[in-house]
Amino acid sequence: MPSDIGLIGLGTMGAALALNIAENGFDIAVWNRTAKTTETFHQNAGDLAARITPTESLQQLVGALKEPRIIILMVPAGDPVDEQISALRPLLGPDDLLIDAGNANFHDTNRRLRAATGLFIGIGVSGGEDGARHGPSIMGGGDPAHWQRAAPILEAIAVKYDGTACAKWLGEEGAGHFVKAVHNGIEYADMQMIAEVYGVMRDGMGMTAPDIGAVLSRWNDGALRSYLVEISAEVAKAHDAATDRPLLDVIVDAAGQKGTGRWTVIEAQHLAAPIPAIEAAVVARNLSSQRNTRAQGEAIFGAAPQALAAGTLDTECLAQALIAGKILCYAQGFGMIAAAAQQFGWSLPLPEIARVWRAGCIIRSDMLDDMADALSEDSTRNLAFAPYFANHLKTSHQALRRLVAQAALHGLAVPALGSGLAYFDTLRTSRGTANMIQGQRDYFGLHGFMRLDDNSTGQHGPWAQE
Ligand code: 6PG
């Protein structure tokens, strides 16, 4: 019997997704570049093997599928996707649909769609291996009619929040991959802010990794409940048997990255969308990998971190600061999505996006449910101005301020939290300092400015006559 869907690429994510599809009652045919991988995958599929058809060539894969066909590509982003599409197209009919479920750059997805050599959509899939296996969050893009064709399968395999599948069509063209990139940018900032607070507890407050783990676990029972806080607690509590020390203390402090956070930052600049916390997080990862430079700097200037005097900060202050930082970071991320909706003419419904992120994905958290509500009330206003979050920030910004100030005084680097605070203060300064920039621009380039008492543009200072 022909299979309901095909899948190409049995790496970690592809294999997990294929098992998820089979477990949800769909017959799936799979193909991998290395035949041995396909064979081993099938052998290890247990009860699900009956629903899985391993194939040894693209021809065989295509022949094993119900028509019109749906094939998911789960291959590394970039050239491998183009190569796979080129190899497949000649074998496919005009109504067959390819779905790129990898972490593609949305510009590539746009390009592939516009090439229009056949039906194609891009979807963002989040949740790591466990999510792919048991219920990811799925961000759909492309032609809505094409999404609809695959929706019964994608909704079935997606995680459910209050019975609703976290799998939605979010916008035209590469919108699914765009939303996934912003998700990853937020993921970077969320992770970075947790790491910064960890650093304050470790270097400023002299706490051990297991103690920090216990604090994070406690936070995970309150407003900060989220997957990233939960796993950070687990990471902090882990013990290294080889050295009899906390595992965290023996992990090298240089963060890896595959590039999605960087794409978000680059795109934010194109859109002139301010996402300073996400930018700070990407920069922090880049700096983290410059270990030699950091060691040289420490040798020249002395180690930056100094202990805080007892009682200067407590963990409740850190929790409040983290909540404030998180609200501001998400406000930036959603603001960037709103800017993209306008620039690209895409749908990108902000409340729906918050809902799709409530479960399954890496940034899932209780707060996203409140964000979905706040964005439903008014998706055009900055999320930080929604009454629920504004009320929170009115008090929690003081904790963020205390943390950032003490961190600055004691050499504890908190770039994402610090930039969150600067963003917040900028947002509530109606009379900023860009009048000086305008004066400077006019001075050296006669670019012109506007006066507070006269709206006409192109006015100049006295230097224009010199
Ligand atoms: C997810 C993750 C996932 C992955 C990325 C990020 O949503 O499931 O974002 O896509 O973790 O590869 O990786 P880097 O930290 O390597 O950029």
CA of 143 to the centre of ligand 1 (A): 25
Q: Does any ligand 1 atom lie closer than 6 A to the CB of residue 442?
A: no
Nearest-atom index, ligand 1, CA of 261: 17
326 with 318: CB under 8 angstroms? no
CA of 259 to the centre of ligand 1 (A): 9
CATH of the domain at 448: 1.20.5.320
CA of 234 to the centre of ligand 1 (A): 19
Q: Does any ligand 1 atom lie closer than 6 A to the CB of residue 258?
A: yes
My answer on whether 189 and 102 are in the same domain is no
Q: Does any ligand 1 atom lie closer than 6 A to the CB of residue 256?
A: yes
Name the closest-CA residue to atom 7, ligand 1.
126
**In 200-314, which residue ranges form alpha helices assigned H by DSSP?**
209-219, 227-237, 260-271, 276-288, 291-301
Q: Does any ligand 1 atom lie closer than 6 A to the CB of residue 191?
A: no
Q: Does any ligand 1 atom lie closer than 6 A to the CB of residue 257?
A: yes
Catalytically active residues are 180, 187
pLDDT score of 466: 73
Q: Does any ligand 1 atom lie closer than 6 A to the CB of residue 192?
A: no
Distance of CA 411 to the CA centre of its chain: 28
Q: Quote the CA–CA distance of 380 and 372 in Å, as a whole number.
A: 13
Torsion of Cα atoms, 311 then 316 then 317 then 323, to 10°:
160
CA of 220 to the centre of ligand 1 (A): 22
My answer on whether 226 and 322 are in the same domain is yes
Q: Is 46 left (phi over 0), alpha (psi -120 to 50) or beta?
A: left
Name the closest-CA residue to atom 9, ligand 1.
184
CATH of the domain at 197: 1.10.1040.10
Q: Does any ligand 1 atom lie closer than 6 A to the CB of residue 260?
A: yes
Nearest-atom index, ligand 1, CA of 256: 16
Helix (H, G, I), strand (E, B) or coil at 90: helix
Name the closest-CA residue to atom 1, ligand 1.
126
Give one DSSP letter per residue of 13-28, joined into a string.
Answer: HHHHHHHHHHHTT--E
CA of 232 to the centre of ligand 1 (A): 16
Nearest-atom index, ligand 1, CA of 180: 7
My answer on whether 25 and 129 are in the same domain is yes
Q: Does any ligand 1 atom lie closer than 6 A to the CB of residue 103?
A: yes
Burial 174-185 (b: 16+ CB within 10 A, else e): bbbbbbbbbbbb
My answer on whether 267 and 379 are in the same domain is yes
CA of 316 to the centre of ligand 1 (A): 30
Q: Does any ligand 1 atom lie closer than 6 A to the CB of residue 362?
A: yes
My answer on whether 396 and 442 are in the same domain is no
My answer on whether 309 and 350 are in the same domain is yes
CA of 184 to the centre of ligand 1 (A): 6
Nearest-atom index, ligand 1, CA of 260: 17
Nearest-atom index, ligand 1, CA of 188: 15
pLDDT score of 428: 97
My answer on whether 201 and 342 are in the same domain is yes
Nearest-atom index, ligand 1, CA of 132: 8
pLDDT score of 117: 82
CA of 261 to the centre of ligand 1 (A): 9
My answer on whether 365 and 416 are in the same domain is yes
CATH of the domain at 58: 3.40.50.720
Q: Does any ligand 1 atom lie closer than 6 A to the CB of residue 102?
A: no
Domain boundary among 132, 154, 173: 173
**In a structure prediction context, what are the per-residue pLDDT tens digits for the chain, which is 466 residues long?**
899 999 999 999 999 999 999 999 999 999 999 999 999 999 999 999 999 999 999 999 999 999 999 999 999 999 999 999 999 999 999 999 999 999 999 999 999 999 878 999 999 999 999 999 999 999 999 999 999 999 999 999 999 999 999 999 999 999 999 999 999 999 999 999 999 999 999 999 999 999 999 999 999 999 999 999 999 999 999 999 999 999 999 999 999 999 899 999 999 999 999 999 999 999 999 999 999 999 999 999 999 999 999 999 999 999 999 999 999 999 999 999 999 999 999 999 999 999 999 999 999 999 999 999 999 999 999 999 999 999 999 999 999 999 999 999 999 999 999 999 999 999 999 999 999 999 999 999 999 999 999 999 999 999 998 7
Report the residue among 362, 364, 365, 368 best suited for mutation to probe ligand 1: largest number of ligand atoms under 8 A from its CB: 362
Q: Is 366 left (phi over 0), alpha (psi -120 to 50) or beta?
A: alpha
**Helix or strand run (H / E) with residue 11:** none
My answer on whether 39 and 168 are in the same domain is yes
Domain boundary among 116, 140, 173: 173
Domain boundary among 151, 173, 195: 173
333 with 354: CB under 8 angstroms? no
My answer on whether 168 and 299 are in the same domain is no
My answer on whether 386 and 297 are in the same domain is yes
Burial 57-80 (b: 16+ CB within 10 A, else e): ebeebbebbeeebbbbbbbebeee
Domain range for 232: 181-427
My answer on whether 451 and 328 are in the same domain is no
Question: What single letter denotes the amino acid at residue 204?
Answer: G
How many domains is the chain built from?
A: 3
